[in-house]
């Protein structure tokens, strides 16, 4: 998924449970049922490395099963 720099993504989970465990960027926090989560671009940047024979988009494609036929 590609979104613009100024896009804010809003998420809200609903369940019979009273709380959820939200995990992002190796951090976990309990949130209440129906609480909204907002995701936006950070005010800073980071430097990344790319290992030989590893590709970010290939990894995402494999993890999300993009292009896989689930009928088999």
pLDDT computed for residue 49 by the predictor: 82
Number of H helices, E strands in the chain: 1, 4
pLDDT computed for residue 72 by the predictor: 62
d(CA 49, CA 68): 28
pLDDT computed for residue 59 by the predictor: 86
Q: What is the pLDDT of residues 37-47, one digit of tens each?
A: 999 999 999 88
pLDDT computed for residue 51 by the predictor: 85
Domains identified in the chain, total number: 1
Written as six digits, the tokens of 69 are 């036929």
Cβ atoms within 10 Å, residue 20: 17
Range of the domain at 9: 1-41
The answer to the question of residue 72 being in a domain is no
Q: What is the mean pLDDT of each run of 10 residues along the chain (72 residues)?
A: 92 86 86 90 88 85 84 68
CA 10, 14, 18, 21 torsion: positive or negative? negative
């Amino acid at each position: 998924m590609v979104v613009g720099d100024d896009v804010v993504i809003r998420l809200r989970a609903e369940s019979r449970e009273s709380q959820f465990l939200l995990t992002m960027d190796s951090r976990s926090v309990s949130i209440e049922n129906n609480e909204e989560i907002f995701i936006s671009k950070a005010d800073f940047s980071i430097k990344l490395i790319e290992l030989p024979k590893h590709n970010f988009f290939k990894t995402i494609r494999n993890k999300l099963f993009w292009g896989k036929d689930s009928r088999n």
